[in-house]
A and B are shown apart, each in its own frame.
Chain A
Amino acid sequence: MKVLLEAVFSPTFAASILRVTTPILFATLGAVVADLAGVVNIALEGMMLVSAFTGVAVSAFTGSAWIGLICGVAVASALGLLLGYFHLKLRTNIILAGIALNLLATEGTVFLLYIVAHDKGVSSSLASKVIPDWQIPIIKDIPVLGAMVGKQNALTYLSLLAVGVVYLFLYKTPLGLRLRAVGENPDAADSVGISVHKVQFIALAISGALAGMGGAHLSMGYVSWFSRNMTSGRGFIALAAEALGRRHPVGGFIASLFFGLADALSNYMQSLRVPGEFVQMIPYLLTLFALAVYSGRQMKTRRSFK
């Protein structure tokens, strides 16, 4: 117990929270953007996974982690558009289409992994690159703070930046205003000549791109390889974080940190004598709890709108 407490109250633990929060945070922001536009993106998980794989594969072939990242994000964004196509053009239920995309991503990445790496589990035979760590000049030398946020993966910094960017986009730009109007009352947007479908396509593409950033962090920042189903539910945790954060980027950030904390905690506890399977449950139990809170709140709002 003492070991655990010491670990938890060390600056490196704070740093690890930020590190494990990164993919969840990206995906949460993606969930916020899509949800505010009225298109629930349940395929975040699959989009992350596809981006994680694409990033590794492309970086191995091109020798550049950044090109890998761009391609991963592009593919995830394209998946967002594909989801939009199914839902908006072919009028499938967006939840079912999202589930289908998730299943396709889970198995499809394994198939492609076998083709490029001749392995059904891990991409370690590929010489993939990683996104570098950045150091913040002055902050890194401040005692405790430096150890916490002075040196992190580039994508971790970008994820923090993304919170602000997404906030500004949603609440300070004309497109953001339209996006929120479309999500709240598509007829209202339509009646003033806004193309609802166009806005929702854009929202899904942005949502996919953000999820793609998160996925790329997993395989090119957090670790340096792709392994099957490596997202292990983070896309769904992001949906919970989005709900818990009341569909707001900053709220989503705080909720992501909460799940990041749970994740980091479970990582540390695995080094103790607690059965690993039990510890690994923690993030998911928290997700379940958060969703229960959320649905309770939803029922309340629905009643008040009646």
Chain B
Amino acid sequence: MVAREETPILAMIGITKVYPNGLVANSKVDFQVQRGEIHALVGENGAGKTTLMKVLFGLEKADEGDIFIRGQKVKISSPHDAIRHGVGMVHQHFMLAPSLTVAENIVLGAEPRRGLWFDRKKAEEISRSLSEEYGLHVDVRAPIKDVPVGVKQKVEILKALLRGSDILVLDEPTAVLTPQETGELFLALKALKEKGHTIIFISHKLREVKELSDRVTVMRGGRVVGTRKTAEISSEEISRMMVGRDVELRISRPTAASGKAKKVVLLAKNLQKYSRDGKEVLKKVSLQVRSGEILGIAGVEGNGQVELVEVLCGLSPADGGQVFIAGKDATGKSPGDIRNMGVSHIPQDRMIYGVAAEASIEENLVSTRYRTSPVSRGISLDLKAIRQISRHLIERFTIKATSPSQSVSTLSGGNIQKVVVAREFSTNPQVIIADQPTRGIDVGATEAIHRYLVEATEKGAAVLLVSADLAEVMGLSNRLCVMYEGEIVAFFPEASEVTEEELGLYMLGLKRQDPREIEAAMMGEAESRPASEAETGEG
């Protein structure tokens, strides 16, 4: 396929954006998109992709540079301008009002009227016909708060289409989707392309870029490294362009420990948890993690993983069941006590549970052990020791910072996560509970964090890895289970033998294994029976 040399539908020329704090987010960026193509925009966090798209959508104002749409120079100073020029954006965090219905969200800002009144029937009609036209099926009357993530995303796309957008920007659209939902999205995007729409697709996932896009533009450090035809470039080349060096793309799991009996370090028995409105969010979950292995938990977000992690870490009490750490009862203990028993926790939301954003790097690094020597000196802190520990950790975990006293909030997402990881790993934990440890961070930092997890495991730690990123959870785990609606519905003693499609069926609740078999396979003596036998219980 040869791209015709015509006027690009979108050209951003010489875009420079410097944030007030001096960060150069875009430096003389040239970015061109042809009509009717799917153009992937890739790069690490902080590479400037999002800033560039914010400039395009009028959310940020560029200091220099021009935007041309269909050959015309345009000035975009608000989302309103962008929409007027046919640019629509599907944000990473959905821009939807939860209590309003699907139809209301779609027409918001361009509501059909009947006299003085909002014409709800018309709004539903418009939404319905639009959703049929583009094959993005949604229930237009359902309140947004009741629909799954995949539908919310469709609503976002419909919103943009209703406003006549023929240039659609999708910011990491697959981050929150199951493989099936992703497949559906890709079909819809390809259909949109057939209809002549132009799609800009921001992603971290190279496999998706390869599968979906016609061309790919790579950004690094606020500059464009290059634009290529996707068919003519390998994933390895793209990743090299992204990070400026070779990256180990294949994730390597810890080598399965040798024959000697591995000790069960984390044991959960029949954990139950009810939400405030009485829903059973954990339904008698049992699991065990042994020293020297990674147990992965896959699943669509919101199927009890958050509650499971909270209970295991002591952040919220269980309504039933027990937790043992290295044989000692940890049920109902406080997070502090559980930490003292040798448990580390890499939380899902680093800004809320992981760090104190306004505090300095060094304060965050010692925040779990300020009570003990050498950080503590009775009633005062040993600032020298803290500085020394921090310098050591910053170096060992390659945290990019100008000084240990720099506030954490000034770091990039990947480096903030490294601060969390450095702190959690520095105490030589027996158990590491890693909840979405690499969500929203760049390839380089992800790779580093994966390596640390594997290293800790090989030194004997037991790791419980919760992740919605299938590649991660499948690549790192030794054993793997799937959570669906508060239950473990599948268990695989050999994570390497599972396919993504198969996992997807369990994640969506289309298939499940016999609970007794799961329990027997996970909790029983793994040595006494061949792994293959335990895996036959699919129903």
Give A residues with C-beta under 8 Å from B. Answer: 172-174, 176-178, 180-181, 184-185, 187-194, 300, 303-304
Contacts and interface: CB of A to CB of B under 8 A. Distances in A.
A178 B108 contact: yes
Contacts of B100: 177, 180-181, 184
Contacts of B116: 173
B117 A188 contact: no
Interface of B: 78-80, 83, 89, 91, 93-100, 104-105, 108-111, 113, 116-118, 159, 163, 275-277
A189 B78 CA distance: 13
A185 B118 CA distance: 20
Contacts of A188: 94-97, 105, 108
A190 B98 CA distance: 15
Contacts of A176: 118
B276 A192 contact: no
Contacts of A178: 108-109, 111
A184 B105 CA distance: 12
A194 B79 CA distance: 9
Given A176-B118, A188-B96, A192-B163, 4 more contacts: A173-B117, A180-B99, A180-B100, A188-B108
Main SS class of interface, A? helix
A221 B159 CA distance: 49
A215 B93 CA distance: 42
Contact of A172 (B78, B80, B117): B117
Contacts of A174: 111, 113, 117-118
Contacts of A191: 79, 89, 91, 95
Contact of A194 (B104, B108, B159, B276): B108
B118 A172 contact: yes
Contacts of B95: 185, 187-188, 190-192
A191 B91 CA distance: 9
Contact of A185 (B96, B159, B277): B96
Nearest to A303: B276
Contacts of B117: 172-174
A192 B98 contact: no
Contacts of A192: 79, 83, 95, 108-110, 159, 163
B291 to A, nearest CB: 32
Nearest to B275: A304
Contacts of A181: 97, 100, 104-105, 108
A304 B276 contact: yes
Nearest to B163: A192
7 contacts: A177-B108, A180-B99, A181-B105, A187-B91, A187-B93, A191-B91, A192-B159
Nearest to B162: A192
Main SS class of interface, B? loop
B276 A177 contact: no
A185 B111 contact: no
Contacts of B93: 187
Given A173-B116, A173-B117, A176-B118, A184 B108 contact: no
A301 to B, nearest CB: 9
A304 B94 CA distance: 18
Across the A-B interface, the 7 shortest Cβ-Cβ residue pairs: A192-B109, A193-B80, A188-B95, A174-B111, A191-B95, A184-B97, A181-B97
Contacts of A193: 78-80, 83, 109
Contacts of B105: 181, 188
Nearest to B116: A173
Of listed B89, B97, B117, residue having the most chain A CB within 10 A: B97
Contact of B109 (A172, A187, A194, A303): A194
B272 to A, nearest CB: 18
B79 A185 contact: no
B275 A189 contact: no
Contacts of B96: 185, 188
B305 to A, nearest CB: 13
A237 to B, nearest CB: 26
Contacts of B276: 300, 303-304
B108 A189 contact: yes
Contact of A173 (B118, B163, B277): B118
A4 to B, nearest CB: 41
A187 B95 CA distance: 6
Contacts of A185: 95-98
Nearest to A168: B117
B424 to A, nearest CB: 21
Nearest to A177: B118
B143 to A, nearest CB: 11
A189 B99 contact: no
A172 B105 CA distance: 15
Of listed B83, B96, B277, residue having the most chain A CB within 10 A: B96
Of listed A174, A185, A187, A191, residue having the most chain B CB within 10 A: A191
A173 B118 CA distance: 5
B13 to A, nearest CB: 25
B317 to A, nearest CB: 14
Of listed A178, A181, A194, residue having the most chain B CB within 10 A: A181
A176 B100 CA distance: 12
Contacts of A187: 91, 93, 95
B277 A304 contact: yes
A107 B83 CA distance: 49
Contacts of B91: 187, 191
A188 B318 CA distance: 36
Nearest to B78: A193
A190 B97 CA distance: 11
A173 B119 CA distance: 8
A235 B139 CA distance: 41
Nearest to A172: B117
A112 to B, nearest CB: 38
B352 to A, nearest CB: 9
B79 A184 contact: no
Nearest to B99: A184
B97 A180 contact: yes
Contacts of A304: 275-277
A240 B163 CA distance: 40
A192 to B, nearest CB: 3
Contacts of A303: 276
A303 B316 CA distance: 12
B79 A190 contact: yes
Nearest to A181: B97
B122 to A, nearest CB: 11
Of listed A172, A187, A189, A194, residue having the most chain B CB within 10 A: A187
Contacts of B118: 172-174, 176-177
A225 B80 CA distance: 50
A185 B93 CA distance: 11
A113 to B, nearest CB: 40
B334 to A, nearest CB: 19
Nearest to B112: A174
Nearest to B81: A193
A174 B111 CA distance: 6
A303 B83 CA distance: 35
